[in-house]
Every structure is written in C-alpha cells, then in structure tokens.
Amino acid sequence: MKKTVVKMIHKTILMLVFYGMVLTATAQTISVDAFTDCWVALIDEQAAKHGEYGWWSVWHIIKQEKRYKETPCKFENVAPGKYTLVIYNSEAVDYDPDSGTAIEKSDGVVMEEIIVTKHGQLEYDFDEDDFTEWNCLSCPWLYVFDGKKYVKTTEVLRDLVGKKNQQTTTTQIAPKNFQNGKLKIRIQEEKDEITHLHQVQLKVNGIICPMKIQDVETAKKLTHISNFIELRKGDFTEIEFQLPEEITEIQTIQLETNGFYEPEPEFLKTVKAKYLRK
C-alpha cells in the first residue's frame, strides 16, 4: 500500500514538473524596436474575433485607453497563439513620401503577423521604409470659415468608433471667426468611414445659437439627437450660426457635436493586407 502511494506521489510530481515545463516552454518574449519612437500593441487573434470591427477596433480601444507600449519594448510570457503586432508612428502627422525628414516619410503604421509556438525570444526591428501611409480613420474634420475660405481646424468625434461609443464632444472656436454676427462651419468626412452625425450645437457664452442649413431635412435631423445624417468619404455639411442679439461681447464659443463613426466594410476587408510588412 505504501509503495503504491509513493508511486502515485512520484507520478503526480513528475506530471506537475512536466506540465510546468510545458507552460514554460510555450511562453515567449517578443522584443520590438523601430527607427523612431512608436506605439506598439500585440493583439491576440481571439480578441480580434470578438472585436466589433476585428483587430482594427481592438487597436483603437488600446490606443484610446493608452494600453500600448512604446519602443523599444518587450511583451513577456506570451502564450501560444496567433497575434497581430501593430506598430504606430504617432508623430508622423504630415505624410510626405518625398520629404528629406524620415518621420514625414513614414506616416503611421506597419504590421506583423506572429505565431507563438515555443519558448524563446522573437525580435523585431522596423526601419523607415517598412512603414506605410496610414488611413487612420480618425473621425470627421471641422472647417471654420475665416471670412474668405474654410480653414481645416480640428477633428470632431475623435475615436468614437461604433454606436456604443456615441457621445457629445466639445470643440473650442476662436471668437474672431464670427463675421458680422455669423459663424460658418463645415463638417467633412475624408476617410474610408461612415460618420453618423446626430446633433450639432454652437454655444456662445453658454447660449445656444440659431442654426441655418440650406437643406431643411438635414437641419431637422441635426436639431434632434434621436435622428442623424450619414457622411461618407467626400461628403460634408455646412452650417451657419447666428449670434443671439442679447450677446454683446463674445467670451467663449463651444461647438458640440454628437455622434460616432465606423469603418467602411470594404476598408476592413483590405486594410490588414495593406499594412503587413512586405
């Protein structure tokens, strides 16, 4: 009886040791560096499958929550499986392939597909030429009329991907943009995405300004938050606001926009292949 118990204990210990060795053997370290400072995310295939828009929506959540790493960096104890490595050059905002400045020649992103199967270390080093111009689908743009032309000013609905993220964002506008008691704006979609614009309001000193839009139906939809208009790549809407008569001195101007955006289905079908390192 004692011998049987001892054998069972030995067998159990050997199984635990072996199991521990298997766990150790399947963990990997992934080291990542690039020619300039970049943000890095390692996206598990299973997480991507559960994302509303696959790996793309997972990446945006990581970016929004600032859960990315910065180069040079390491991912340790990576379990077996398939992964997508996203390396994003956050400083490359003015893409110019003919520029003599490296950071301007490599706008945005390069990706790598990784299969983790055994113990060890994988090392990745990304050069300037690896990066591709990034269609970041970063939301619609706001243009403000300066008296002569519409000036590209800032993004609105930033990182509000999918209906579950619908909310109101506030943008400050300089008082000088009111011309003869009027302020004109344009909200334009410029990427492969669909903007759902639910409501637009301009507040001067906290007071809502009357709006004027040529298309009556569009005006109705943007007045009531339960309705919306769709803006696809190249689409825009222009709105004119009137300064209320009771306001004699402009202190603050706040533009409130409510809505969200989502990627075009065709974009999602091709985007990953475009940015994988060749």
Which numeric CATH code is attached to 141-265?
A: 2.60.40
* Mean pLDDT on 206-215: 92
User: Per-residue pLDDT for 16 more than 70?
Assistant: no
Q: Do domains 2-134 and 141-265 have the same CATH topology?
A: yes
Rounded distance, CA 190 to CA 187, Å?
Answer: 10
- The domain spans of the chain are 2-134, 141-265
Q: Using a cut of 0.75, tell me whether the model's pTM lies above it.
A: no
Residue position matching structure tokens 């150790």: 24
pLDDT in tens, 232-243: 999 999 999 999
90, amino acid identity: S
pLDDT in tens, 106-130: 457 899 999 998 777 899 999 988 8
User: Per-residue pLDDT for 8 more than 50?
Assistant: no
User: Per-residue pLDDT for 105 more than 70?
Assistant: no
CA 191 from centre of chain: 12
Of the candidates 61, 112, 51, the one whose C-alpha atom is nearest the C-alpha of residue 87 is 112
User: Per-residue pLDDT for 156 more than 90?
Assistant: yes
**pLDDT band at 28, cuts 50/70/90?**
confident
* Mean pLDDT on 23-33: 72
Which numeric CATH code is attached to 2-134?
A: 2.60.40
pLDDT in tens, 38-79: 999 999 999 998 888 888 888 888 988 999 999 999 999 999
